[in-house]
Structure 1
């Protein structure tokens, strides 16, 4: 069993699914939102296939209501419609709190069969030219901080394009762009559901604009376009607008064959120096 499959392990429980969140996937005290998305998609896919529906996430649109924490977690999917080619569902992720529970995230998903939508490709975007992984900078070589010392970062082998890491030395470029490579630290290959985690795995692009501290996601919309080929994934993050402490962050992911396999846009909150 890989680290990720262990983190996404769920057991049927009443009308939903039960699992456990750990600090292995946390940044500071908060479990990464990408892991919550992959966990939610796992529960929806299992419920969908059990009802004769589809298993591959095509779209994911979620709002984050409170930070996830280490401990028990409950995932409640609801299949809204299952047709011949697509299944639509909603899902809620919550954790115990006192005598009740607190909701961490709620999302709408569309599922289908990714092989049905892989070809032909009428138009796409190519990955940017960046140095190969061995000539990029490992995220683990960054100065000690809450980010670099987090359990989450240790789950990945992340390599940053040297041209986009000035922020790590206190010299953000102001371009609002990060590029690099990513794979799981244990060498396991990622599947379609794992791509939701990847879309929220890199440092926030706001760092390249000089922001400081935690950058929580307000809303996230992601699209999975294919099952990734084994090997390194290439990522590009960029922002087109930041104002009033909010910014959009766009992420594109290509697999080792150069095929675009996922992309997303999220609205995030960031703090900037006065």
Structure 2
């Protein structure tokens, strides 16, 4: 098991006229099947962006990324371009490439988060059973021909209400929710929350459409430093059509405060003639 900080480490290299360059070793333990997890890849970019932004703006506050092609575990290159360094935020462009081909490109806003509560919020934490009463996601997926190594580094426990798909009875609500911890006991931070905001399995499972749903575009906002302990995450879809699915995730910390939110557009293949019974 490789801890998050080691798995997302970047090493400075000689920069170019337009940006800063880093080397990374993409870890196969942060994957779903053979595909590296999207939130993990963004965390690698965020790690490099933080190095460029410096101590004044150590935390990602907004990330908007396009996933161009899936990189393989192993050596990768990261380039970060500083767009603007202001008093309240630093704006950067980051690209992850492998063998000279771009894989992920992101616009990242760095700032400095704290633990201050929201002045106003209607983001009430999702109501789910206690962590001990939820179902742990195993690395070995029952009935599937692939493993989920990510579930060895992230302890995720899903609300049983959304697990009907496991016995061939998806709820049709298009919602999954559960608790997440880093398996090695480390606390969540704004960078690792990018992993939590991209939970697995995708919401399409709850609609009776299992299988890989690769992310096309992903946007996230990080709101505050999370309290120690687990986060609870709710992911929901609004619509599936044209081989595309949106997924919106919200994450609350152990104090019930919103610490991150994300929306992504993913590819999905709906079997011909498939219909969903709405709850």
**2:61 maps to which residue?**
58
SS at 2:128's partner residue?
coil
**1:203 maps to which residue?**
201
SS at 2:60's partner residue?
strand
Structure 1, residues 130-186: CA drift from partner, whole Å, max 9, x if none? 110100111118515255x22112111110101011112221111100011001111
SS at 1:268's partner residue?
strand
**1:68 maps to which residue?**
71
Q: Conserved in 2, the CA contact under 8 Å of 1:216 and 1:270? A: yes
Runs of 4+ in structure 1 over 6 Å off: none
Q: Conserved in 2, the CA contact under 8 Å of 1:142 and 1:168? A: no
Does structure 1 residue 111 correspond to structure 2 residue 110? Answer: yes
Residues 27-42 of structure 1 correspond to what in structure 2 (within 5 A)?
Answer: 27-42=32-47
Does structure 1 residue 90 correspond to structure 2 residue 88? Answer: no
Return the TM-score normalized by structure 1: 0.92
**1:19 maps to which residue?**
24
SS at 1:42's partner residue?
helix
Deviates more, 1:25-34 or 1:171-180: 25-34
Structure 2 segments unaligned to the other structure (5+ residues): 16-20, 273-279
Q: CA deviation at 1:22?
A: 2.2
SS at 1:202's partner residue?
coil
Q: Conserved in 1, the CA contact under 8 Å of 2:56 and 2:112? A: no
Q: Conserved in 2, the CA contact under 8 Å of 1:32 and 1:68? A: no
Match of 1:174 among 172, 175, 186: 172
Structure 1, residues 223-264: CA drift from partner, whole Å, max 9, x if none? 000111111110100011111211110000000010000001
**1:7 maps to which residue?**
7
Q: Conserved in 2, the CA contact under 8 Å of 1:222 and 1:263? A: yes
Question: What is the rounded CA distance, in whole Å, between the counterparts of 2:47 and 2:6 in structure 1?
Answer: 12
**1:150 maps to which residue?**
148
Structure 1 segments unaligned to the other structure (5+ residues): none
Q: CA deviation at 1:105?
A: 0.3
Structure 1, residues 102-150: CA drift from partner, whole Å, max 9, x if none? 11100101111112x8345212311121110100111118515255x22
Does structure 1 residue 255 correspond to structure 2 residue 260? Answer: no
Kindly tell me the number of residue pairs found equivalent between the two proteins.
266
CA 1:127–1:89 in 2, change beyond 3 Å: closer, same or farther? same
Q: Conserved in 2, the CA contact under 8 Å of 1:10 and 1:18? A: yes
CA 1:235–1:153 in 2, change beyond 3 Å: closer, same or farther? same
SS at 2:228's partner residue?
coil
